[in-house]
Amino acid sequence: MKITVKELVYGALLTGLALLIPLVFRGWLQVYLPPFSATVGSHIPSMLAMFISPWVAALVGLGSTLGFLITLGPVIAARASIHIVFGVAGALLYRRGYLPWQVLALVMPIHAIGESVVVLPLGYSLYQALVVVGIGTVLHHGVDSVLTLGLYGSLAKAGLPISKLAPRH
């Protein structure tokens, strides 16, 4: 699987956004109830990256992880590392022909369960992991999915259909 220059540029721009969102919106568009945090819009770069390629999705997920490591520390960064997993899974689903809304719905359980499981060995209770993080992630994923689908449609109307970058099989 080869990455094109165009994909790399879009990946770099989305990675920049993935880093900036937690840095700029810290304390503003953010809910923080340890071990859960939700920064509105923080999943949008990872979600858009899924519609470009698996490599771009992984790159943006790494950027998101780094942004949260800088702003909220290692526990939230560990949770953000799941963006790599659900991003690559979503990109593979998209390449198989699933529609954007289907991709976002199908990766939601991967996202929520992944973030729940990653906090368990860090000393959090089953309630905190499954209810606070798991259900919180489902709600946050849902909000950011709606925002992502709106942005995806707007980009297509503006003549920048990112969906045309990824060859669909």
pLDDT of residue 18: 92
Mean pLDDT, the chain, whole residue set: 90
Q: Between 82-95 and 54-72, two packed helices, what is the crossing angle to 10 degrees?
A: 160
Cis peptide bond upstream of 35, omega within 30: yes
More confident residue, 105 or 30: 105
Q: Residue 65 pLDDT more than 80?
A: yes
Residue 145 maps to a domain? yes
In a domain, residue 65? The reply is: yes
CA distance 50 to 163: 9
Task: Kindly report the length of the chain.
Answer: 169
For residues 2-7, give the mean pLDDT. Answer: 84
| pLDDT given at position 158 | 83
- Is the pLDDT assigned to residue 163 strictly greater than 70? no
Tell me which residue range forms the domain holding 81: 5-159
Beta strands in 4-80 (DSSP E): 30-33, 36-39
Could you tell me if residue 165 is inside a domain?
Answer: no
Overall average pLDDT of the 49-70 stretch: 94
Structural domain contains residue 119: yes
Least confident segment among 26-30, 60-64, 147-151: 26-30
β-partners of residue 37 are 32
| 87-138: pLDDT as tens digits | 999 999 999 999 999 999 999 999 999 999 999 999 899 999 999 999 999 9
Distance CA 151, CA 43 (A): 12
Provide the CATH number for the domain around residue 32: 1.10.1760.20
The answer to whether 34 and 14 are in contact (CB under 8 A) is: no
Q: Does residue 169 sit within a domain?
A: no
Closest CA to 18 of 162, 112, 148, 114: 148
Number of domains in the chain: 1
The answer to the question of residue 168 being in a domain is no
Per-residue model confidence (pLDDT) at position 2? 78
The answer to whether position 59 is within a domain reads yes
| Tokens encoding 110 | 């991967």
- Whether residue 4 is predicted with pLDDT greater than 50 in this model: the reply is yes
Spacing of C-alpha 101 from chain mean position: 14
